[in-house]
Amino acid sequence: MKSKLMIGFYGLAALSLASSAVPATAQDRQVVISGSGGSYEKALREYWFDPFEKATGIKVVSVPTADNEEGRAKVEAMIKSGNLTWDIFTENDAGGEAPDHLMTRADDLSGFCMQFNDRSDLLPGSCKGASVLFASGATVIAYNKEYFRNGGPTTWKEFWDTEQFPGARGFQGGSQAYGQLTMALLADGVAKDKLYPMDVDRAFKKLDELRPNVEAWYTSGDQMVQGFRNGQFDAGVMYMTRVTALKNEGQPIGWSFNGALLFSDRYAVVKGAPHKAEALELLKFYLDSPEVQGKICEALSCVPPSKDALKYMSAETRALMPSPEQLSDMVIPDPKWVVANQQKLIDRWNTWIQQ
């Protein structure tokens, strides 16, 4: 599986109390969803939001945020202040796998999800009490094929090896933390099945080695893309969706699934969301529309929740997805450990990155 502005308004400030008591028409209805901008936002707007607006008359307002952590923090701040302006926010699979932890900021969708229980086309866990599956993807090693004419780094050990593979590195600078630490441990020779519980001290020591070679610390998918286009880095950590966008532009990008982190982006409904009914309509529209899912994942090279969506994707795009053999080389973070330790990891990461 992973990309928000202050939101719009309901109507004119001069509306009287009497007029505000009139039931809203479809044209007055809206749903506010956090997103990540760029090619990601463009695909969602074209293939999901616009068709939904046309079908229902409900306006979709997308609010960009740098990453899931920033969005999560904003949701918690909204709930604490009582000033709720978002309806749907993005979660990663770690949050989606820990409903007790997530339910402090999200509504329970268990009742909503019952309608999808018998949908054989949907992957297991597509709709949970905590969140709805948007798509699955990967964080991979990417490199510039023109710079690395004999092949770029394809493992985390090689990514860290700036003698054999010299060149500027691009690395995630956001506070996701567990992803960066996982990559560092893999680079230090830790086996996939020994990653958790994580040796945090060892991971930061390995990050210290790479730090002098990192020229771009990005906190959003758009920054990843721009850094590659501008030649700011020669090899970097990138979302597969962004790799695909660059490939489609004709950029000389290569990548490796070896040691890539497998993740899922999920959508949760903000606890006490001002437009909960509209939010549920938007999520239902998505799960009920394999064609929408297929077109989005055709544009972003993601894995959709519905198996029926694959027929709306080209053979070329499906070939960009991890094969069964490649999946065996990928890493699935331990969601329970990540959630239990997330805040400590974020705090330590923020201290380290600012040094």
**Assigned CATH class of 137-263+323-353:** alpha beta
Where along the chain do the CATH 3.40.190.10 domains lie?
Answer: 17-136+264-318, 137-263+323-353
Distances (CA, A) of 311 to 214, 227, 292, 314, 315: 40, 33, 11, 8, 9
Between CA 67 and CA 175 the distance in angstroms is 9
Which structure tokens are listed for 130?
């905590």
Rg of the chain, C-alpha, whole Å: 21
Q: How confident is the model at residue 12 (pLDDT cuts 50, 70, 90)?
A: very low
Flag whether pLDDT at 93 surpasses 80: no
Residue from 274, 72, 327 nearest 177 by CA = 72
What does the block give as tokens for 56? 């229902």
- pLDDT of 167-181, one tens digit each? 999 999 987 789 999
The CB density around residue 173, as the number of other CB atoms within 10 Å, is: 18
Determine the Cα–Cα distance for residues 186 and 175; give it in Å rounded to an integer. 19
Provide the phi-psi class of 308: left if phi over 0, else alpha when psi is between -120 and 50, else beta. Answer: alpha
Cα–Cα distances (Å) from 316 to 244, 249, 262, 313, 326, in that order, read 11, 15, 21, 8, 17
Neighbours of 147 (CB within 10 A): 16
- The residue among 154 and 28 whose pLDDT is bigger is 154
Q: Treating both helix axes as pointing N-terminal to C-terminal, what angle do 240-248 and 290-300 enclose, rounded to 10 degrees?
A: 70
- 3-class DSSP state of 64: strand
Q: What are phi and psi of 61, to 5 degrees?
A: -105, 120
Rounded to an integer, the average pLDDT of 121-135 is: 90
pLDDT band at 155 (very low <50, low <70, confident <90, very high): very high
pLDDT value of position 97: 53
User: pTM of the prediction?
Assistant: 0.72
* Res. 165: pLDDT tops 60: yes
| 3.40.47.10, 3.40.50.620, 3.90.1150.10, 3.40.190.10: CATH of 17-136+264-318 | 3.40.190.10
Q: What is the pLDDT of residue 20?
A: 35
| pLDDT band with cut points at 50, 70 and 90 for residue 153 | very high
Per-residue pLDDT reduced to its tens digit, 205-244? 999 999 999 999 998 888 899 999 999 999 999 988 889 8
Q: Which of 259, 245, 232 is nearest to 144 (CA)?
A: 232
**Residue 90 pLDDT > 80, yes or no?**
yes
